[in-house]
Chain A
Amino acid sequence: MISTTSYFSISVPLIRENLRRFWVIPVFGFLAYFFTGVFPLLMAGEDSYSIRSYLQTTLDLRNPGFLIYACLFPLIASAMLFRYLHAPGSVSVMHALPFTRRSLFNSHYLSGLILAGLPVLATGVLFLCIGAPPLPPEAVADSASGYPWELFSPLHMLHWLGMSLLLVIFLYTLCVLSAIVTGNMPMHLICSALLNALLPALFFIGAAYCDRQLFGFPTLGLALSGIVNLSPLISFPVSAGQPGAPAVVAYILVILVLYAVTMLLYTKKPLERAGDSLSFRFMDVIVCYFIALLGMTALAFYFEDAMGGGTVSFYIGLAVGTLIAFFLARIIIKRTVRVWGRETWIQLGAYALAVALFLTGLQFDLFGYERRIPVAERVQSFSINPNMLSLSNGKIVYDYWSSAGYAGFQDPVNLRAIMAFHQRITENKASLRGADNDGDIRTNELQLRYTLSGVIGTSMNREWTLPWSFTRGDESLKTLVESAEFKELNRILTPEYPEPESVKFSQYGVMLDVNLSLAERRAFLACVEKDMRLETYAQFTDLANPLLMLDITLVDKLAGRADPRNRYVSVSVPRHYANSVAWLQENGYYEQILQQDESISSVTLVHYVYGEDPYNPYIASSTERYSFDDPALVRAALAQGESTFLNYRDRWELQFTVPGLSDSRGDSYYGADEDGSYFNYALYLNEGNPLLAQLEGNPLLERLPDSQ
């Protein structure tokens, strides 16, 4: 009855007994899946529209219940099947029976796969039964959203089944690995939970240190995808059950490797350590170090950030966290509080040395990360985040779903320009570092991605927080922004999205009642694009209050796209866009736009200075307040006011009041003046703004009493 093939030998009687002993696991598993997934569908009957989103969530592997079951039942199966490893008596009896270690392991592993996989399989079969025949044609696509709703198709069900089984097998294999490397049940359960989070945790910890120490390290923006893909438990729900073929292949390979490693460990497992925390002596120090790393990191960042203590607190946190976590880990592993031996101190010393080397390496950039600029010959293209050069009121702000703006620049002139800019950053890193922590300085978040040639290292990513003053006058960026390639890549209408379905005007957050015909939309956007092509870098980075904002909806017209989605684009129209302004004037919209400007009843000019208020020294409080309502001066304020301030600590703010507008918009949206009066929107006068000189000593200004 026992197959004796070498690596994949199994014992059929043992598998049969396992299934007989633990039949309750798949039964309860199936009931859980049934009442969470299938039962609601059956109850819904023909009114399946009402639970579309629920079914969609389930099939996208985002159903929280299903995710919990995917973790729970493999864990229970592994705990039940391999618990004999956790007591000296049972481990002796099982290994004295006529099995080889491989056949014993394989038989239990396979038994667990069946026990944990059966509920998923049965649920999948039920889904398939329910799903056939598919919904009527009118239910296939929802015309309102353009989103496909053919959820009952066998393809969707099979996809769910495949992905769910993959997830269960992955998690079960991790649980089995935990059972093999631990020596008792509590440690098995803890280790199973930790293993699922191990790689993302290590990745996150590494990224946290690199982000803190290395200037230019791409943090969550670029690294998050890496963390997500490290575990299917995260990547499947995040990707709505569509992790992509490479990820699926990678997970299958990981399962195979984990299986092979686990079987190898089982054959080498020292059975005499049954009951101990860990089965393998070499793991004692690894687990200690991992727990120490977790404790050290948590306390260091907590001390630095939550307690606001800065670098000294960070290093105190490192030391305290290491000591607490390391000794706690030793106590857990050795199951005694007597862990103060020589071996412990040696291990702690080695850990401290490794951490010191690691942090020193990061601190002094011993690996040359911050200085590294790609070799020009290897750079094929690069991309930057589209709104990085224009603060938050970007010239073009693409919608969330779009990857537009990240299109690759390939013009050699632009490649040289961006590398020169990169070079300038590395040369000035000492003065630039820390800009992200200074909340008083206006900064830009620059994400730079190089695509390189070659088999290894085909991309290079950097992310910096740069002061506005550093980027505003940069010659390299000027070259880039004024290039034809930049203009082409930043067009509003693209071959994929050639048709503007709607163009809406807004001013100061208020939608104007303007409806353009298709011909008008096309004509107007052609003017805007022409102005964008003519725009200089100085104009591009100008913070002047734009004439209006455009909210554009572009329809995905590309034939054959499986998942069509509209694109939403916001574009600002500055007052220097001559062609656009001319078109608005010629077509009678300009006056309508200016109407709101004309309705401004008064403007309050407030000078805010940091630290002047003795009762609240940590904010910038008003020191001077003026009011004016002269129409010419108001127009000048609208034209020359800037949309953001560059220095929080010393700023002039123009607060505009439009009668009737505050009632409809509410004070919370726009803010309230210090004396309780409302204003509708604000502009700023940064240092060097010519309006400041014009307003200084102007008799049209009325000094208001100090609100304090």
Chain B
Amino acid sequence: MIQVTDLEKRFGKVQALSSLRMNIKKASIYGLVGANGAGKTTVLKHIAGILRADSGHVTIEGEDVYENLRVKERSCFIPDDLYFFGSYSLKESARFYSRLYPVWNPALYTQMAARFELDENRKLSRFSKGMQKQAAFILSMSAAPDYLILDEPIDGLDPLIRKLVWKYIVDGVAERGMTVLVSSHNLREMEGICDSIGMLANGKMLIERDLDELKSDIHKVQAAFAEDVPAEGRYEGLRVLHKESRGVVDLLIVRNPKEEVERVIGGKSPLIFDLLPLSLEEIFIYEIGGGNHDIDNILF
């Protein structure tokens, strides 16, 4: 597993990460989300062993990542901003990677190169940005890493290729127990693939939960009651995170199990009662946006 403990990082006068803690279970897909500038890439670069922490620890299976060759041989990082040796083709790059990574999988490389339909002999610098992302993905997956760290991996990819990328990731997790840490702004796709979610804001971890647990715990409620039901006690026993009224209809965000919400509100014979799960995107907007009214309008 990947463990981040009390990670601190400062860039000049900017505190990029502050007392950050993360736990990424083995053979899981962990989605790291956050607003722009929240510190996602900085976290990923620490976990990839690129940056040195000011304080705190980043460990993989109990070993510090920074300057640890053994750990680095078992992990791959694909940054958002890609880089290849200038004049190299995919094939030449693959040859170089095969000499660096001890468990390079040539069969997988051949298969993936064919599936992604990339010209192996063409210079990588001549590829489009999306094709370069695919090439980086092929190279990284062929290195058969135990830990795959992806920064905006599907940004710029067409839907078909995105599906292919997710397929190989899921296969890697299922077949080899690969652990994946992925950062993306495409929350709908993240929602469909991630086991766990870490939500980052201003260099701090806001929420870190299993996705199912996170979604089962927070709900959007619309309810209206007869006039004889007193307004003060209508939601007693619920953790109301947000409430507003539009006419006789109350709009709420509550953090309680579904059964609990149904018991409390259903027991008061509401005229209208809709209980809807929040999507990851909505949770993100709510958690990151806080009490901002503009964000409320997006949610409801």
> Which B residues from 78 to 134 make CB contacts under 8 A with A?
79, 81-88, 96, 99-101
A66 within 8 A of B: no
Residues of A with C-beta under 8 A to B85: 17, 21
Which of B29-37, B66-74, B158-166, B283-291 lies at the binding interface?
B66-74
Segment at the B interface, from A89-97, A399-407, A443-451: A89-97
Q: Is the CB of A98 within 8 A of B81?
A: no
Q: Does A195 contact B (CB under 8 A)?
A: no
Asked, given contacts A98-B100, A101-B67, A272-B11, whether A89 binds B81 with beta carbons under 8 Å apart, the answer is: yes
What A residues does B82 contact at CB under 8 A?
A: 89, 93
Of the listed stretches B47-55, B170-178, B204-212, B241-249, name the one at the interface; the rest are far from the partner chain.
B47-55
Q: Given A13-B99, A92-B81 in contact, is the A281-B12 Cβ separation under 8 Å?
A: yes
The reply to whether A99 and B87 form a contact with Cβ atoms under 8 Å apart is no
Which residues of chain A are near B99, meaning CB under 8 Å?
1, 13, 16
A524 at the interface (CB under 8 A from B): no
Picked from A1, A13, A84, A101, the residue with its CB within 8 Å of the CB of B83 is A84
- Whether B67 lies near A21 (C-beta < 8 A) is no
Confirm or deny: B26 has a beta carbon within 8 angstroms of a beta carbon on chain A.
no
Residue from B12, B48, B100 within 8 A of A1 (CB atoms): B100
Residue of A at shortest CB range from B50?
A95
Give Cα A11–Cα B86 distance, bound, in whole angstroms: 20
Q: Does A662 contact B (CB under 8 A)?
A: no
- Cβ of A2 < 8 Å from any Cβ of B? yes
Query: Which residue in chain B gives the minimum CB-CB distance to A84?
Result: B83
- Binary flags per residue of A88-115, CB closer than 8 Å to B gives 1, else 0: 1111111111111101000000000000
A2 close to B83 (CB less than 8 A): no
- Known: A90-B83, A271-B50. Contact between A96 and B77, CB under 8 A? yes
CB distance B69 to A4 under 8 Å? yes
The verdict on B76 contacting chain A, using a C-beta distance below 8 Å, is yes
A93 to B136 Cα, complex, angstroms: 10
Give chain A residues whose Cβ lies under 8 Å from the Cβ of B77.
Answer: 92-93, 96
A87-B83 contact given A92-B77, A272-B51, CB 8 Å threshold: yes
- Asked if B45 is at the interface of the complex by the 8 Å CB criterion, the answer is yes
Complex contacts, A91 vs chain B, CB 8 Å: 50
Task: For the complex, give the distance between the alpha carbons of A17 and B69 in Å.
Answer: 19
| Distance from A268 Cβ to chain B, minimum over Cβ atoms (Å) | 8
Q: Known contacts A1-B100, A21-B85, A89-B81: does B72 contact A98 (CB below 8 Å)?
A: yes
How many Å from the CB of A615 to the closest CB on chain B?
66
B81, A13: Cβ atoms under 8 Å?
no
Q: B45 near A92 (CB under 8 angstroms)? A: yes
Q: Find chain B residues with CB under 8 A from A87 CB.
A: 81, 83
Structural contact, B86 and A95, CB atoms closer than 8 A: no
Closest CB of chain B to A657's CB: distance in Å?
A: 79
CB of A80, distance to nearest CB on chain B (Å): 9
Contacts of B11 in A (CB 8 A): 272
Which residues from B are CB-within-8-Å of A13?
96, 99-100
Tell me if B79 and A92 are in contact (CB < 8 A). Answer: yes
Measured CB to CB, the closest approach of chain A to B95, in angstroms, equals 9
Most buried by B among A1, A90, A97, A99: A97
Instruction: For B45, list chain A residues within 8 Å (CB).
Output: 92, 96
Q: Which residues of B contact A (CB under 8 A)?
A: 11-12, 45, 48-51, 67, 69, 72-73, 76-77, 79, 81-88, 96, 99-101, 149
Chosen A-B contacts, 14 in total, with CB atoms closer than 8 Å, are A1-B99, A4-B69, A14-B100, A16-B99, A21-B88, A84-B83, A89-B79, A92-B45, A93-B84, A96-B45, A96-B72, A101-B67, A272-B11, A281-B12
Give 16 new A-B contacts, CB below 8 A, not counting A2-B69, A89-B83, A271-B50.
A1-B99, A11-B100, A13-B96, A16-B99, A21-B85, A21-B87, A87-B83, A92-B77, A92-B81, A93-B77, A93-B83, A96-B45, A98-B73, A271-B51, A272-B11, A272-B51
List of 5 A-B pairs having minimum Cβ-Cβ separation, nearest first = A89-B81, A13-B99, A90-B83, A96-B77, A98-B72
